[in-house]
Every structure is written in structure tokens, then in C-alpha cells.
Structure 1
Amino acid sequence: MNLRILSNLFLLAVLLSCSVVKPKQPGKDTFSHGKLKVSENKRFLQHEDGTPFFYLGDTAWELFHRLNREEADQYLEDRAKKGFNVIQAVALAEFDGHTVPNAYGYLPLQNLNPAQPAVKEGADNDYWDHVDYVVDKANELDMYIGFLPTWGRYWHDDGIRFFTPENARAYGEFLGKRYKDKKVIWILGGDREVKNDHHYAIIRAMAQGIKAADGGSHLISFHPPGSRGSAEWFHNDNWLDFNMRQNGHATDYTYRYSKTQEDYNREPTKPVMDAEPLYEDHPVNFDAGRQGHSIAADIRRALYWNLFDGAFGHTYGHHSIWQMYDPEKERHPINNPLMSWQEALDQPGALQMVYGKRLIESRPFFTRIPDPSIIVKGRVPTSVPGEGRYRFVATRDTNGTYAMIYCPVGRAFTVNMKAIKGSKVKVWWYNPRNGKATLFDTFENVQDERVFISPDKGELIDWILVLDDAAFNYPAPGKQ
């Protein structure tokens, strides 16, 4: 068969693959696999029975504070249908959650004292009853709450700080006891750096309080400020089960998303993920006047840069949803959101996140490693593997049964075929925009290097090359 016929057949297959994928309905059996724990190789999360857990989070910082129950139901049901399994939300919310009541008129604390949560006898009559409702609703939908006890301003910022090591410990004990039997992942911090011994003492006391009250039954991490990671301050602390990064609201790989692999390589080994990458429809670098707002392609790049550099999961965010912006309510919009949170639910980047999860889950999970050496550096390395928005990244399993290369642009690149150990290789192109895979070729693995180029040559359209050892007969990439 000549090259022109092959090309035409491939183009037809790609066109047929571009139909819209229906959202996956939420499962009902995730929690039956037992509690979450760190995998034996310290790179991933898993359930007690050994089932892998791919953390696919959504950012809903103001969920407890700004939404009523009907709105919370709408939001959570949508996220469950789109395949998310962790919702990140803050108990003492950023936008004056200490002094501005929630949707039902309740405040979380008495006298701004974390040691005195405002709890009343009976049901549905205080702030924490509403938090309970949201946590329970998420759990019913097979999702965890990535539970931030407080935004960082309340333990960090001069003039507003009201946390001390003593009341942080008491507050941690309150939360740990109240949510001991719920499906939560504790996330301390809240967008602030740790600058002095007092900050260290507050965070560590809160972690100690949670663990003392819940018996260590839930994982704990720390949400850092932009361009930073929890490992900078707490990597060697025993309470920190995995590292979080906030690679932040930029579009470039260099000096931002490249930091995921730096944390991956730290010792002792701990899992790492990006809990706050660039949000969809967010002002790029907080500078919409010069750089505009992000689009779904920017969000996909962050997802695959992180995953292929060793992250065990990923968190998505939308600029309207994290703040639950609603133009019909008297709320000051932060950094010019483009639409209401309800409209933002169906932005393309949100649905496309699950395609990354499905891709990773369709191949051996616990043996996956980052491997930049799969991509042969070109004569001009800033072209291949590239820099800025155009960085190519690669991952494979330790046994060499598969490899994946993320291609942010249609540019010829060379692959080190020694990464695949088998004698025959299957070649797939995986479309991260619709989650469809197309089998392109099968060939004898006799060349040390081989040149590939994605289907959309020269365009700012991403593809993923998947190479399989044919002997393992893996399913199509992304197939569940």
C-alpha cells in the first residue's frame, strides 16, 4: 500500500474519531475498594485493596461558602458526570469567609476563634451542617472532598491572622473528629508560603490535631502559593503524605511546569501532583491586557506536562467556578471572569480532563515513569523537545511495554525506539480533545530511532503518540 493511500486512510479514521464523547456516568463502587493510601513505590495513590487511584480534581474553593444546597447539587452532579473524583473546597473561605455568612446566613467560628467552631444542637441550623451536606453529597456521587481547613490568609497575613499553634491544633481535632468517617483528603496551607517558625508551628499543629482525631485515616497534603511546592517546607515531615504544587497561571513549561519533575526526583520519594495549574478562561499570568485569557488547549498542555513528568493525578480549574461567580448576585468579580459559574460548567477543558485519566488508566499504572530521553533532541533543542508552550514530554513504564509522547504542536520529532523492548510495535495517535485513539501502524522494532509527526502538521493542536509492545495486546489508548 503506498504512502498516499495510507495517509488518506488515516485521515478518514481521524475524521471519524472526532465525534463528541458522552460524559461518563459516575460510578458507585470507588469507595468499596477501601481507604486511600500511598502506593508501595511511593509514586502514586491507591486504595487499600490495591486498586489505583487517579486523582482528578476540580477547584471549587468557595463551594461551602457561596453556594446553597440546590446550587451545590447542580455543581457536584455535573462534576461527577464529567469524571472528576476530587473536589477541592475551603472551610474558612478566602473571600471573608470568617466574617461574611454562607448562603444560609451562618458563620463558621465564634469570636473568630478556630478553637470555637460555631456549632449548634440540631440539624440544618449552622455553618458546619451545610458543610456536612456538601461533603455527604460529594461522597454519594463517588467523589472525595479535597478539604482545606482554611485559606492561608488566616494563618499568614498580618492584620487578619487569627490562628495560633494552640487553636490550630484544636481546630484540626474538631475537623478530624467530625469528618473521620467521610471521604476526604486533607489539604493544609491555602495559597501562602511558610515564612517563619510561627507559620511552621501553626501548620504542623493543625496536621497533628487532624491525625490525632481521625487516627491517621485520611491522606494529608499542603496547597502552596504560585510557582511553589509543598516540598519546599514540609517534604521531610511524616504527616505530609504527598506533595502538591501550584505551577500557576502561566502557559509556559519552562520555569513552571518543569518543576513537577524536580519534585518527583526529590528524596525521600513522595508522590507529587499539580493542585493549581492555569485555570481555563483565566487571565494568562494575571495580565489579560497583554496575554489574554487561557483556552482549553492551554489547560490540556498543563495536564499532560504534569502527568508525563511524573504526577500521579491532576487538578483542573475554571476561573469562574473557583470563585463561584454569579453576575446576578452582589459579589465582586475577581480578575474579570468571562461568564457565570453555571455557564462555565460546560467549557471544553473540563470534559477533556477525563481523557487524560482514561489514557493513563488504560496502561499499567504503578510502573509508569517520566523519561525525557525517549525524545531525541533535535539540532535546535528549543524546537525539539521544545520550550515555552511547545514543550514535548514523554512517559513510559519501567518494563518498556509502552511509551507516550505529548506533542503540543505538529512538528517532526525523533523517538528513541529502545524505550520499547518488544520486537514489534503498535503505533497509536490519541486525540486529547475527544479521547479517541486511531491505530496508525504496526512495524518491526529494528530501528534505534524513528521520526514521527502528528496528524495536524504545524498547527497549535496537540496529539499524543502511544507506542505499544504489540506482544502485550493492550486495548486502544483511553479505552475503559
Structure 2
Amino acid sequence: MRLKEGLLSIVLPVFVAAAWNVPPEYGLIPSSDGRFLRNTNGRPFFWQADTAWLLFHRLNYTEAETYLSDRASKGFNVVLAVGFTQIGITSPNRNGDLPFVSKDVEQPNEPYWAYIDSIVELAWNKGIRICMVPAWGQYVHDSANNPSVLTASTAPTFGHFIGQRYPYLPKILVADTNPWWENKTAVKADYAAGGVPPTYQVVDWSPVYDALAMGIVAGEQDAIGNGTAWSPLLTIHPTNQWFSGGPLGFASAFLGDRSWLTLDSCQSGHTDFPPNPPIPWWNARRGWEPIEQMYAAGAQQGARVRPVLDNEAHYENRYNNGNGANPWWNASDVRTGSWQAVFSGAAGLTYGADAVMQFAIPGLYAPDGSGPSDDWLADLALQGSGQIQWVRRAIMDRGDAAYFQRVPAQDIIMGDAGADDKRVTAMRDSAGSWIMVYTPTGKPFSIDTASLVSACDGTQASWFNPLDGTYRTFGFVCPGPGVPSGTNSVVTFTPPVEDGHVDWTLVLELRN
């Protein structure tokens, strides 16, 4: 086929068909208001993803089945995995196959990708969609702004291959990099040396991103055929850092005017301090912050509304900043961050366990030292992986209509909501049938209940346990029907203290 964009015309080769044809129901699309995700049949889809970057590369089929079965049993419905991985172009997968013939990204090696086909099908049979990263970001450019094998001329061919072979799969074009970049290596070195830093050359790599996206869109259309209208769910996976004066570290800040960007995303990351000043970083204890900003950007006049996600929050069992001198993030950390992000407007959440995301295998694949574990099977059983499914349950329990009507409601928190990962975070139904408030501290908090229709008359109150997904109803004294917003509609709640945890979710919902 021939791919055209303006004056660009590239003849693309025909590749071998995939071993498994992806069905149309695999696809995900934005909701009618652009805020959330739904299946192609219109039903709600809450994104509960696990991070498995090296799934295709380091696990054999039996191990992949063990992994996917575990994640399916815990409610995960998306897995993030990389096709052309960060391990390198000359590194074979577990079966001994390289990704390309003669290291040429325009010549995919069929056995390598056929194995990926089998894992994509296996995951689907367990109720899990693969969100594919076609290639890691380093294959566009590295931290010193050196180009790599994916260029404006090679990316369309590789993208078309990915799109045609894997239509309907959500896709993250590149991972762990930003389109607009300075020489990060030089910035760090000059800052450490002191003095006045020089002016650095800025390189905009977005033409390569556009070429890759253009290839994917064309490839998916060729695979689907019959004139079917289809827009792939596409985003990029930014870093948790950026440069002063440049776009913030989320997808829409760099590429918000692109029609192919159908999902907005960020990486709040693994660090609660800026380890490389003066380069700014998102704070891992404030993962709700970029979510809030992306959500608000979509509300601005003339802006395109997209679903928003944090594609990489702090991994469970990873050291703070990946440094063994620091403590590691635990189940409570990742649980709190997930609730806060979703209540701030995210269309779902993404979990990660440090040894799992890299599939460290003792004696075969050494861990990268970013966490205390050297065994993916050990990290597979971490507590947090079984607990974040209850965020999804709490959202879905309200019903399909309420799923699409939920809005962030931080304004109903009265007084000091708390800072960072101690912040009390609220969400409500725009139609007024329920309020939900997550507290990570167990301390009393006050909310304005006036958004409930009938001013909460006939409301059932319960505490939802984020550790096991159970509800505990309790007596609730309503301010009374018809009470307007203000002092008389404010109610103070004190969470229970039991079960060895302090975080709870308050649920107030109208009952007929």
C-alpha cells in the first residue's frame, strides 16, 4: 500500500499475516463526552492495567500463562507490554528469536512476532487486552539527543506493520521519553559542575512520532478494510521529567493538536523528590496532580477532551528513585495513589510490581537493582496487586449510567484536605445520586453533601474497605431535605480504625 501525508509518499511492503486475527470487540473507544473508556458495544470499560514491559521477551509460553492467569484472577483487564523492547535490537527473546532480520526495523522477523501473536491471543482468552508499546523510546532518541533506528523514514513502515498485524489493540507509541528534548546528560553534568548553565539545543522529535502514528493508523485501516471508520486508541508514554520552559510531562502538552492522539497520559513515576535539579519532576506522592491538570486541560474552551491515565505510578517493591539506599514503595503507597488518581478524573489505573515489570528470573535475567526482589514470581504475589481491583469495583458498583457521570469533586471537601499522598480526595455523580470520598489517613473529615439530590434524604452511608472490597453500612444523620449548600449541609465523618489500615472510602448513595 502507499502511505501519504502531504508530500510524503512511501511504498510499504506486505508482511506475513498474524497467527491470530484480533476481533473487532477487542477495540476500546472514548465515551461520548471523551472522559472515559468504553467497549465498542458502548458498555463501560474501567482500565485496570498491569505493567509487564518484557512479557513477550523474557517469558516462555508456560510462564506467560502463569502470569496472565494470576492477573486475570485479580481483575486486571489490560497488560502493558513492549514489542521492540528496551533490551536491544540484538537481544533474542526466550525462544532465541530476534525482533528483526539483519537489525533492520523494516524487516520484522516472523518467529519473534508470531510468538507475540500467541501471547496476545492467550491474554484475550483470559479477559485481558494487551496495550502494546511498539518500540521503547530509546529507538527514537537517547538522553543525549542521539537519533536511533526509528526515524521519519523507517517509522511509517514499522508502524504500518504493527497496525496491520495488531488492529484494535490500544497502543503507546513510544515509552519513557518525550518528543521535545534537550541533552539531559549535559544538563545534569553542567548543574553538578556549578556556575551558569549554557543554552542547550532543543530537538523536537515529534515528526518521528507522527510518522509512527501515521503508519499505525494506516495499517489498522488496511487490516480492518471495508471502509470501516476506526480510530485506534493511541498515546505516548512520557517521562516523569521535563525541562523548564518546555511542555509539561504529559502527552497532550506535547501533541495535543494531533488527531491521532486519542488518549492522554503521564508518568508520575517513582520519586518523591527532584533527583536531577534543575530538571523538574512529577512527585510520586502527588500522582493525582498531573491527572488533575490533564483533566482540567480538557475542560478549557476549544480543547479536545480525551480520557486521561497515569501510565506509570510508583511500582510496588521498587526503591524510591530506584536507589537501594532508599525505602521501597509498599502496597499502601500504590493503593493510595490509585484511589487518588481515579477520584481526580482518571479513566482507570496502572499498577506495577518492580520485579514483574522487568521479569527478573534468578540465574537467567538479573534484576536491574531498582528494587529488593530478584524474582518475578515472588513479586507476582505482592499484596497491592490484589488490592487495587477494589477501585474498579467501587466505580462499577454504581452502574453503567453513573460510570459515565462521575466527576472529580474536590470542592466538596471542607477545610484542609491534606497534602501529597495524605490528601482526602472526592468524586461525585453529576446527576446527584452519590458521593464517594477516599481518605488515606483515617482522620475525621468534613464534606458538603448539598450535591446529593433531595439534600441526601434517603441516603445510605457505608465505608468501603480498599483492602477487601467490602461495604460496611452505618447510621447517617441527614441534614434534611432541601438544605442548600453551606454550613447546614456540611457533615463530618470519622472513619473506622480496624483491620490494621487507616484508608477508607466513604460512599453516600441515594436508595429508592
Does TM-score exceed 0.5, indicating one fold? yes
Residue 304 of structure 2 is aligned with which of 258, 262, 268?
268
Residue 202 of structure 1 is aligned with which of 201, 205, 208?
208
Specify every segment of 5 or more residues in structure 1 that has no aligned partner in the other structure, as ranges: 1-30, 120-125, 378-383, 472-480
The 3 A distance-change label for structure 1 pair 34 and 225 is closer
The 3 A distance-change label for structure 1 pair 78 and 178 is same
| Counterparts of residues 291-306 of structure 1 (less than 5 Å) | 292-306=327-341
Residue 172 of structure 1 is aligned with which of 141, 151, 159?
159
Q: CA deviation at 1:442?
A: 3.8
Tell me, in whole angstroms, the C-alpha distance in 2 between the residues paired with 1:331 and 1:160: 28
Q: CA deviation at 1:336?
A: 3.6
2:128 is aligned with what amino acid?
A: M
1:152 is aligned with what amino acid?
A: G
Tell me, in whole angstroms, the C-alpha distance in 1 between the residues paired with 2:87 and 2:35: 35
2:150 is aligned with what amino acid?
A: F
Task: Give yes or no for the alignment of 1:338 onto 2:373.
Answer: yes
Tell me, in whole angstroms, the C-alpha distance in 1 between the residues paired with 2:76 and 2:69: 10
Residue 362 of structure 2 is aligned with which of 327, 347, 352?
327
Q: CA deviation at 1:254?
A: 6.3
Partner of 1:241: 262
| Counterparts of residues 7-406 of structure 1 (less than 5 Å) | 35-96=27-88, 98-119=89-110, 126-157=111-142, 158=145, 161-180=148-167, 184-195=169-180, 199-215=205-221, 216=230, 218-226=232-240, 228-250=249-271, 256-266=287-297, 267-290=303-326, 292-363=327-398, 364-377=402-415, 384-406=416-438
Conservation of the 8 A alpha-carbon contact between 1:253 and 1:387: no
Q: CA deviation at 1:334?
A: 3.4
Conservation of the 8 A alpha-carbon contact between 1:33 and 1:51: no
1:302 is aligned with what amino acid?
A: G
Partner of 1:381: none
Tell me, in whole angstroms, the C-alpha distance in 2 between the residues paired with 1:426 and 1:301: 24
The 3 A distance-change label for structure 1 pair 330 and 449 is closer
1:439 is aligned with what amino acid?
A: T
1:110 is aligned with what amino acid?
A: V
Q: Which whole-Å deviations, capped at 9, do the CAs of 1:254-304 have from their partners, x for residues lacking one? A: 6543111110011321110111101101112334424x0111000111101
Specify every segment of 5 or more residues in structure 2 that has no aligned partner in the other structure, as ranges: 1-22, 181-201, 222-229, 242-248, 273-282, 298-302, 481-487
> How well do the aligned residues superpose, as a CA RMSD in angstroms?
2.0
Q: Secondary structure at the match of 1:166?
A: coil
Q: CA deviation at 1:339?
A: 4.3
- Pick which of 306-315 and 221-230 moved more: 221-230
2:427 is aligned with what amino acid?
A: T
Q: Which whole-Å deviations, capped at 9, do the CAs of 1:155-210 have from their partners, x for residues lacking one? A: 11155711111110000001111123xx5211112000112665101111111101
Tell me, in whole angstroms, the C-alpha distance in 2 between the residues paired with 1:115 and 1:421: 59
Q: Secondary structure at the match of 1:263?
A: helix
- Pick which of 155-164 and 72-81 moved more: 155-164
Tell me, in whole angstroms, the C-alpha distance in 1 between the residues paired with 2:125 and 2:286: 40
Q: Secondary structure at the match of 1:265?
A: helix
Percent of residue pairs bearing the same amino acid type: 31
Q: CA deviation at 1:213?
A: 1.1
Task: Give yes or no for the alignment of 1:462 onto 2:453.
Answer: no
Tell me, in whole angstroms, the C-alpha distance in 1 between the residues paired with 2:98 and 2:265: 29
Q: Secondary structure at the match of 2:48?
A: strand
Tell me, in whole angstroms, the C-alpha distance in 2 between the residues paired with 1:466 and 1:143: 29
Tell me, in whole angstroms, the C-alpha distance in 1 between the residues paired with 2:503 and 2:323: 25
Give TM-score scaled by structure 2 length: 0.79
Q: CA deviation at 1:337?
A: 3.7
The 3 A distance-change label for structure 1 pair 343 and 50 is same
Q: Secondary structure at the match of 1:321?
A: helix
Figure out how many residues of one structure are paired with residues of the other and give that number.
425
Tell me, in whole angstroms, the C-alpha distance in 2 between the residues paired with 1:231 and 1:217: 17
